[in-house]
């Protein structure tokens, strides 16, 4: 179910965050949030005291490394966005492109 729903939900969420004319997320995003909330509720209710053993040290090290990479990518993205705003570059807006289009007419062969 998640494989099919996540495609539509990812498209709707991307449209929401990238298109400034889009004011709300679509129904698939809300459906995913609801299903995820229900699944987490079931896990918290019935999964208590199921895993008592601590995580192995290599698993903890792996998750710390992954979290560090994600954090470094977010910091890099934030700094890159600030540098782009400081340069005052004109951003391309796919919803409102400023493109001059010259009409092409068919020429008669003389």
In this structure, is residue 110 part of a structural domain? no
pLDDT of the residue at 12:
92
In this structure, is residue 99 part of a structural domain? no
Quick check: 6 and 26 in contact, CB under 8 A?
A: no
**H or E element at residue 96:** none
Looking at the fold, whether 34 and 71 belong to one and the same domain comes out as no
Looking at the fold, whether 64 and 17 belong to one and the same domain comes out as no
The residues, any chain, with a CB within 8 Å of residue 16's CB and separated by 6 or more, are: 22, 24, 25, 26, 29
72/47 Cα distance (integer angstroms): 33
Structural domain of 25 = 1-52
Number of domains in the chain: 2
Looking at the fold, whether 77 and 43 belong to one and the same domain comes out as no
- If you average pLDDT over residues 43-48, what whole number do you get? 87
In this structure, is residue 109 part of a structural domain? no
Our CA angle for 102, 108, 110, nearest 5°, is 130
Q: pTM value?
A: 0.50
In this structure, is residue 107 part of a structural domain? no
Q: What are the tens digits of pLDDT across the range 22-41?
A: 889 889 999 999 999 999 99
Q: What are the tens digits of pLDDT across the range 66-75?
A: 999 999 999 9
């Amino acid at each position: 179910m998640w494989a099919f729903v996540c495609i539509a939900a990812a498209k709707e969420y991307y449209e929401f965050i990238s298109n400034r004319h889009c004011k709300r997320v679509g129904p698939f995003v809300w459906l995913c949030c609801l299903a995820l909330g229900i699944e987490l509720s079931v896990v918290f209710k019935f999964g208590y005291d199921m895993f008592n053993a601590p995580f192995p040290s290599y698993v903890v090290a792996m998750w710390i490394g992954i979290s560090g990479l994600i954090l470094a990518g977010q910091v890099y993205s934030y700094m890159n966005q600030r540098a782009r705003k400081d340069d005052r570059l004109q951003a391309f807006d796919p919803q409102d492109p400023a493109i001059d289009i010259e009409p092409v007419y068919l020429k008669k062969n003389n």
